[in-house]
Amino acid sequence: MQKFQPKQLLREWLGIHEPLNDAEFVAGMRPIQTTDLPPLSIQEVIAESQKAWRENPLAHRIISITTQYVIGKGVTFKACDSETQCFLRTFWDHPLNKMDLRIHEWSDELSRSGNLFILISSDVSGMSYARAIPSARIREIRTRDNDCEQAIAYKVIQPATDFLYDEKWIQAADRLNPTLEPVMIHFAVNRTIGSIWGEPDLAPLLKWLSRYANWLEDRVRLNRYRNSFLFVVRTHLAGEAQRLQRQSQLNAVPPVPGSILVTNENEEWSVLSPKLESMEAKEDGLALKKMIAAGAGIPLHFLAEPESENKASAESAGESTCRHFEQRQQLFLNFLAELLQQVISRAALVNSRIRPGDSVRITGDDISVRDNLALSQAGVNIAKVLSGLKTQGLLSDDELLRITYRFIGEELQDVEK
151 forms beta bridges with: 143
The pLDDT score that the predictor gives to residue 14 is: 41
Determine what percent of the chain is predicted with pLDDT higher than 90: 33
Return the pLDDT at 239.
80
**Residues ≥6 apart with Cβ < 8 Å to 196:** 34, 36, 141, 143, 148, 151, 188
Span 263-314, pLDDT tens digits: 777 787 777 666 666 666 777 777 888 888 888 888 887 777 766 555 555 5
Spatial distance between the Cα atoms of 196 and 173, rounded to a whole number of angstroms? 16
Q: What distance in Å separates the CA atoms of residue 136 and residue 43, rounded to the nearest whole number?
A: 6
Read off the pLDDT of each residue in 40-68 and give the average, rounded to a whole number.
Answer: 90
Nearest alpha-carbon partner for 171 in 180, 162, 163:
180
Question: Which residue, 368, 371, 204, is CA-closest to 297?
Answer: 204
Give the single-character DSSP code of 303. G
Of 21-35, 130-144, 267-281, 397-411, the one with minimum mean pLDDT is 21-35
- Asked whether residue 375 carries a pLDDT value surpassing 90, the answer given is no
> pLDDT-based confidence at 317, cuts 50/70/90?
low
Give CB contacts under 8 A, 24+ apart, made by 51-55. Answer: 52/202, 52/205, 52/206, 52/209, 52/210, 53/112, 53/202
CB-facing half-sphere around the CA of 85: CA atoms within 13 A: 9
Where helices occur in 348-371 by DSSP H, the ranges are none
Q: How many residues does the chain have?
A: 417
**Contact in structure between 299 and 216 (CB atoms under 8 Å):** no
Q: What is the model's pLDDT at position 93?
A: 94
Reported as a single tens digit per residue, the pLDDT across 164-194 is 678 889 999 988 888 899 999 999 999 888 8
- For residue 6, pLDDT over 60 is answered with no
Confidence of residue 366 (pLDDT cuts 50, 70, 90): confident
* Band of pLDDT at residue 108, cut at 50, 70 and 90: very high
- Write the DSSP string, 117-164: EEEEEE-TTS-EEEEEEPGGGEEEEEEETTEEEEEEEEEEEEEEETTE
Classify residue 388 as exposed, middle or buried by CB count within 10 Å of its CB (0-12, 13-18, 19+).
Answer: exposed
Higher pLDDT, 15 or 223: 223
Given a cut of 70, is residue 9 above it in pLDDT?
Answer: no
Distance of CA 332 to the CA centre of its chain: 11
Q: What mean pLDDT value characterizes the chain? A: 79
